[in-house]
């Protein structure tokens, strides 16, 4: 077996997150759920989550473009490393009060899926880039917008709670 063949298989394995991307019908949602589970398994460990985002992002940029070529499809749905890496940005650097944890998680999940699926506010333009940047950057920008949505909802929720409205 030659080196390119091994490297190509490795790219597909990394990009599909060990085959999880082959889940039927909703691979992007599965990737998002995996990302949430990984992120929240390290809840409260901002440095470790930052390292995980960096590592997953680098792995995604390295592997996804190559996997796209091997799979012979533009941004195939089975490539989910982009969703998994991007989830880290949804909650990174947000101090979520325990009382509002559930609201923040639901907001983050819904916002992230919305921005990833509908691709408003310049996200769609990024998806048209070739190779790894087109695969990874649209999800990263969707996560940035989702982070802003979580911050706004938390701000409003905490403000309303201080007025005893919730």
Closest CA to 147 of 100, 87, 97: 87
User: What is the pLDDT at residue 2?
Assistant: 53
Closest CA to 16 of 63, 73, 74, 69: 63
User: What is the pLDDT at residue 46?
Assistant: 87
Give the tens place of pLDDT for each residue, 40-54: 898 888 899 999 999
Closest CA to 39 of 74, 116, 91, 1: 91
User: What is the pLDDT at residue 1?
Assistant: 44
pLDDT tens across the length of the chain (166 residues) = 455 677 789 999 999 999 999 999 999 999 999 999 999 898 888 899 999 999 999 999 999 999 999 999 999 999 999 999 999 999 988 888 888 988 899 999 999 999 999 999 999 999 999 999 999 999 999 999 999 999 999 999 888 888 876 5
Rounded distance, CA 40 to CA 15, Å?
A: 21
Cβ atoms of 95 and 150 closer than 8 Å: no
Cβ atoms of 111 and 104 closer than 8 Å: no
Q: Which two tokens stand for residue 126?
A: 């990024």
Cβ atoms of 75 and 135 closer than 8 Å: yes
Rounded distance, CA 25 to CA 30, Å?
A: 10
Rounded distance, CA 82 to CA 143, Å?
A: 10
Rounded distance, CA 66 to CA 7, Å?
A: 9
Rounded distance, CA 134 to CA 90, Å?
A: 19
Q: Where are the domains of the chain?
A: 3-162
């Amino acid at each position: 077996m030659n080196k390119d063949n091994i490297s190509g298989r490795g790219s597909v394995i990394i990009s599909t997150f060990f085959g999880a991307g082959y889940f039927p019908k909703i691979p992007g949602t599965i990737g998002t759920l995996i990302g949430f589970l990984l992120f929240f398994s390290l809840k409260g460990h901002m440095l470790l989550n930052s390292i995980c985002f960096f590592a997953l992002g680098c792995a995604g940029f390295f592997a996804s473009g190559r996997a796209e070529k091997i799979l012979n499809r533009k941004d195939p749905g089975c490539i989910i490393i982009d969703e998994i890496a991007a989830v880290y940005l949804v909650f990174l650097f947000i101090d979520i009060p325990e009382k509002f944890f559930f609201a923040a998680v639901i907001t983050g999940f819904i916002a992230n899926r919305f921005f990833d699926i509908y691709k408003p506010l310049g996200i769609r333009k990024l998806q048209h880039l070739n190779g790894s940047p087109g695969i990874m950057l649209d999800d990263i920008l969707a996560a940035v917008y989702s982070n802003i949505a979580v911050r706004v909802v938390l701000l409003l929720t905490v403000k309303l709670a201080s007025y005893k409205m919730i």
